[in-house]
Structure formats: structure tokens, C-alpha cells
């Protein structure tokens, strides 16, 4: 069975023994925990429940109300109807050492510490993208996954999106584009927070000290929680870290690209000034892979050049052009008489009708998440690497982090993939590791 066939199969073949979690003949279900029970945490968890016979036994969040709601919802969604245990501290949850799979959907600044602790506890991990807020965190996460021999799938689920798999397998890999020399990747969503509310005391249900964790302590602001924390660079890497990472990763996967040789970037807050948000509203970045230049652009204002593809990639070849996004793809051949190809996103409502009514679900992404979960379970079963293995997540995430560094430093950065450092730039290398707020300790490959 090839990977594409595998993703299209249902969950019928996934018994506990087949997943490698139990002895042959055992009926014990794999035990699952979730850290971060907000919007995307529940989206990921409920897609896993849809495709595999798991038992969700533990949930963790620093927001008591969000945690209780997630526990109630999980009880209605899983077959046993059991309400999971709840925790406010991920360390206590993982100290039980009774979880087979841990899903991580915290804000970005919490990914590294939770993922490393999860693999130490013996669990396999599904971690949301981007994997880290700095490069050294990513190096430590990769080292931990390999040291503890755990499968770690990253939520760059374009690699498991049915129509994008088709575009790669039937357009890109057979060479229908010819020689690709330029790829444009872009996002024109108006996603930068435009509000300017005053700072306040945090809500009673939120442990803001723990929420902040290793990040710098800012006064609480209603923009931050829930879901608005990406407005601040203290917790992530802006729109480049959030949206570029998806499209850069997709292009790298489609074209079998490794690390970029050099990275440059420019941008800033050019239009939406005077707001609380401190991320850029406009930014360009060039990832130079030698014969292929991948150029990113985002604007959180104005119109998209193509309203059908506001967040996507355009691959330019000498035999044709491919536009590929989350809602579909279009291949336009250069040769006269050759027919163009159009494909829309897959929804799978017939197999999973609950997708139609689930609150806040990105319905067009649900099949990709399901495929990603199946791929994770297949890697656990076979002892192989998942399609969005932690190493691929590290490359794509770090490339985006380096783009922000290049913008802030005002110069092009040359990445030495062998040494895992910026070549000949001591100042840039010092920025590969962000300071951690005490008492949290920054992980390194040597300390995991």
C-alpha cells in the first residue's frame, strides 16, 4: 500500500495491536492526551477520534473554563463516553506515564517544553506547527525525538491534503511543469489583530503566569486569549511563522527541497499603525534554494491578486504553471491544445457528517487532519517516519524564523546546513536562542 492509498483508507484496520501499543490479541485502546484544549486542539483531537479506536484519558489547559468544556465535549465524542481526567499543569499529566499519544496545541512558545517532556514520558506526539519560536528549541526537539525513539508528526497538514497530494503526484513529480525556477508563496488574509483594547487583569479562569511560561511577561490584554496571541512576537513569529511555514513546507515537500542556502527578508508595520499588535502587516522573504527561488509575501490589508487563491503557492515552470492552495489547485499548461486541470478541495461529509455542525471547524482542512493522523498512526505501527516528521518541521520552521531574523538584522543570512548555524555571522547566531523567563530553562540538544 502506498501512502496515498493509505490516507484514503478508513480506520477499520487500526486495532490496538496493529498500532503497536499493545500485545497481539489485546483489545486495549491507545491512550491519548491533549495539551492545549482550545480551537485547534479540539479540532485535532476529534479528527483522531474519527479515524482510530483511541481512548482520550487526559486533557490539560491553564484555562479552567476551556478545559472543562473540552472534557465535556470529548465525553460526547468518544465511544466510551468517559470524561477525561483534567490537569492544569502538563508536567503532572505526563508524570502519570500512561499515555501512548500526546497532542500538543498550545501557543507556539509552549511547544518545545511540552513536546520534549511528552517524548521523555514515552508518548508519541502530534505537535502543531510551527514547532518552535527559536532555532535552538527546534534542534532540541529533534534531538529529543530521536533520543527517545518516538514518532513526532508536525501539523503541517498540507502534506496530507488529498488534492495537494494529487497535484504533487500527477503534476509536479511527473515533470508536467518542466523546469521550475520560481515559486511564489503568499497570504493576503486580513488576520492581523486591529483592535486596541486597554490592558486589564487576566480573567479569573486563566492562570496567566503559567500561560506566559517561558515567554516575556506582558500585561494581560484581551487580544491575547483565546486565539489572539499570534498578534504578538513574544509568543510566536508573526504571520511568517504562522502562514508562510505551511506554504514553504508544502513547496519543499512537493519539490523535494531541503534547506535554503540563503534567506533574506524585508517588511514591517507599513499600514496598520497604532495598534496593540506588534507583528508585521507586510513582509517579503526570499528562500534561495539555488536553481529555485521561493518568494513569500504577506499583506494583512488590501485585496488579494487572485480571490480564489488568497493563501497559496504558484509554481512557475517552463512547461506550465501550478496554483495550489487549501481550497484546490489549477494547472495551466504552456503547450497549446493541452487541457488545463482544476481540482477542488475534498470535504468527506458523507463519511463524517459531524463535520457539518462542529463549532469553529475549518471544514476544508478536516480531511487533511484525518489523513495526517492516519499517517502518524501508520508511522507508529511500522516504526517509520511520518510524512511531516519533526525534522521536516524543524527545517520549515527554522527557515521562517531565519527570515524574521534577516528582516530585523537588515541583511541576507547564509545557512550552513551541516553546522546548523548561520555562516560567518556571530550576531545572527546569538539570536538562534531566545532568552527564557525564569524559572523556565531553555532546552538544547545536549540537555534533552
C-alpha cell at 406: 534577516
Judge residue 300's burial from the number of C-beta atoms within 10 Å of its C-beta, 0-12 exposed, 13-18 middle, 19 or more buried.
Answer: buried
Task: Give the pLDDT of residue 335.
Answer: 87
Radius of gyration of the chain (CA): 21
Identify the helix (H) or strand (E) that includes residue 117: helix 111-120
Residue 25 pLDDT greater than 70, yes or no: no
- The percent of residues in the chain predicted with pLDDT above 70, rounded, is 94
Could you tell me which residue, 7 or 347, shows the higher pLDDT? Answer: 347
Residue 11 pLDDT greater than 70, yes or no: no
Task: Give the pLDDT of residue 22.
Answer: 45
Residue 67 pLDDT greater than 80, yes or no: yes
- Per-residue pLDDT tens over the stretch 256-315: 999 999 999 999 999 999 999 999 999 999 999 999 999 999 999 999 999 999 999 999
Task: Give the pLDDT of residue 337.
Answer: 81
- Per-residue pLDDT tens over the stretch 210-244: 999 999 999 999 999 999 999 999 999 999 999 99
Task: Give the pLDDT of residue 356.
Answer: 96
- Per-residue pLDDT tens over the stretch 377-412: 999 999 999 999 999 999 999 999 999 999 999 999
- Per-residue pLDDT tens over the stretch 69-116: 999 999 999 999 999 999 999 999 999 999 999 999 999 999 999 999
Task: Give the pLDDT of residue 21.
Answer: 55
C-beta separation of 187 from 310 below 8 A: yes
C-alpha cell at 389: 516528521
Confidence band (pLDDT; 50, 70, 90) for 20?
low
Mean pLDDT for the stretch of residues 350-365: 96
Residue 12 pLDDT greater than 50, yes or no: no
Mean pLDDT for the stretch of residues 199-214: 98
Mean pLDDT for the stretch of residues 326-333: 98
Query: Could you tell me the domains of the chain?
Result: 3-159+377-389 (3.40.50.720), 162-345+391-430 (3.30.360.10)
C-alpha cell at 219: 500585561
| Closest-CA residue to 362 (of 43, 42, 8) | 43
Residue 157 pLDDT greater than 90, yes or no: yes
Calculate the CA dihedral of residues 63, 64, 69, 73 and round it to 10 degrees: 90
Identify the helix (H) or strand (E) that includes residue 184: strand 180-187
C-beta separation of 131 from 156 below 8 A: no
Sign of the four-CA dihedral 128, 134, 137, 139: positive
Amino acid at each position: 500500500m502506498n501512502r496515498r492509498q493509505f490516507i484514503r483508507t478508513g480506520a477499520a484496520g487500526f486495532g490496538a495491536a496493529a498500532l503497536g501499543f499493545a500485545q497481539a490479541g489485546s483489545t486495549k485502546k491507545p491512550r491519548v492526551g491533549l495539551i492545549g484544549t482550545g480551537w485547534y486542539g479540539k479540532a485535532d483531537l476529534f479528527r483522531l477520534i474519527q479515524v482510530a479506536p483511541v481512548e482520550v484519558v487526559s486533557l490539560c489547559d491553564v484555562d479552567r473554563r476551556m478545559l472543562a468544556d473540552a472534557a465535556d465535549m470529548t465525553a460526547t465524542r468518544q465511544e466510551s463516553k468517559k470524561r477525561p481526567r483534567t490537569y492544569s499543569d502538563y508536567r503532572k499529566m505526563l508524570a502519570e506515564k500512561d499515555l501512548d499519544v500526546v497532542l500538543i496545541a498550545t501557543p507556539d512558545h509552549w511547544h518545545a517544553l511540552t513536546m520534549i517532556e511528552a517524548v521523555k514520558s514515552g508518548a508519541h506526539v502530534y505537535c502543531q506547527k510551527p514547532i518552535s519560536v527559536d532555532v535552538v528549541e527546534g534542534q532540541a526537539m529533534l534531538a529529543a525525538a530521536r533520543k527517545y525513539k518516538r514518532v513526532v508528526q508536525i501539523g503541517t497538514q498540507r502534506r496530507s491534503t488529498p488534492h495537494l497530494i494529487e497535484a504533487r503526484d500527477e503534476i509536479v513529480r511527473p515533470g508536467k511543469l518542466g523546469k521550475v525556477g520560481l515559486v511564489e508563496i503568499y497570504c493576503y488574509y486580513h488576520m492581523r489583530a486591529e483592535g486596541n483594547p486597554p490592558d486589564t487583569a487576566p480573567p479569573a479562569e486563566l492562570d496567566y503566569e503559567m500561560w506566559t511560561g517561558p515567554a516575556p511577561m506582558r500585561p494581560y490584554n484581551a487580544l491575547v486569549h483565546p486565539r489572539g496571541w499570534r498578534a504578538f512576537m513574544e509568543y510566536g513569529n508573526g504571520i511568517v511563522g504562522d502562514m508562510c511555514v505551511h506554504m514553504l513546507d508544502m513547496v519543499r515537500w512537493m519539490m523535494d527541497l531541503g534547506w535554503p542556502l540563503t534567506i533574506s527578508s524585508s517588511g514591517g508595520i507599513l499600514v496598520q499603525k497604532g495598534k496593540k499588535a506588534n507583528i508585521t502587516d507586510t513582509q517579503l522573504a526570499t528562500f534561495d534554494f539555488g536553481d529555485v527561488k521561493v518568494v513569500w509575501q504577506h499583506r494583512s490589508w488590501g485585496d488579494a491578486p487572485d480571490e480564489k487563491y488568497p493563501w497559496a503557492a504558484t509554481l512557475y515552470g517552463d512547461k506550465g504553471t501550478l496554483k495550489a492552495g487549501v481550497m484546490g489547485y489549477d494547472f495551466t499548461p504552456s503547450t497549446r491544445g493541452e487541457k488545463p486541470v482544476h481540482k477542488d478541495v475534498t470535504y468527506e461529509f458523507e463519511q463524517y457528517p459531524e463535520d457539518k455542525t462542529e463549532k469553529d471547524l475549518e471544514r476544508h482542512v478536516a480531511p487533511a487532519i484525518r489523513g495526517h493522523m492516519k499517517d502518524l498512526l501508520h508511522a507508529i505501527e511500522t516504526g517509520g517516519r511520518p510524512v511531516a516528521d519533526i525534522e521536516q518541521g524543524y527545517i520549515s520552521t527554522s527557515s521562517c524564523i531565519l527570515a524574521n531574523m534577516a528582516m530585523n538584522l537588515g541583511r541576507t543570512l547564509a545557512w550552513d546546513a551541516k553546522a546548523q548555524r548561520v555562516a560567518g555571522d556571530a550576531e545572527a547566531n546569538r539570536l538562534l536562542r531566545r532568552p527564557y523567563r525564569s524559572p523556565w530553562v531553555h532546552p538544547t540538544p545536549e540537555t534533552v
